[in-house]
Amino acid sequence: MYRSRSRFVALAMAACALVGHAVAVAVVQPIAAVCRFLGYHFGEACALASAKHDARPMVALRVKAVAFAASMLKRESPVLSPTWRMCPSV
């Protein structure tokens, strides 16, 4: 009787270990995949942020912004008369 019980306990523990391993693999693999994905993209983002950029594109953007502001200041606004309407067909 003692030997039978110990075999049953050993078999039950082996079955629990097998099921526990399957559950652990099913849970750990997706989590590890997400961690690898985030780590890769975080590393790429840090590499892009820390890279030295040329100052010329920023100067070009500033020149374009100043030119746009100057063109907006030079633009003449239409003179609205009291009979002016939104839709010219009316």
15 confidence band (pLDDT: 50, 70, 90): very high
* Structural domains of the chain, count: 1
Residue with token string 């100057």: 70
Higher pLDDT, 52 or 27: 27
Distance, in Å, from the CA atom of 54 to the CA atom of 70, rounded to the nearest integer, reads 26
Domain assignment present for 88: no
List, for residues 31-84, the tens digit of each pLDDT value: 999 999 999 999 888 888 777 766 567 778 888 999 998 888 887 777 777 776
Q: 10: domain range?
A: 2-73
Q: Identify whether 53 is part of a domain.
A: yes
**What's the CA angle centered on 61, arms 58 and 65, to 5 degrees?**
140
Q: Is residue 27 part of a domain?
A: yes
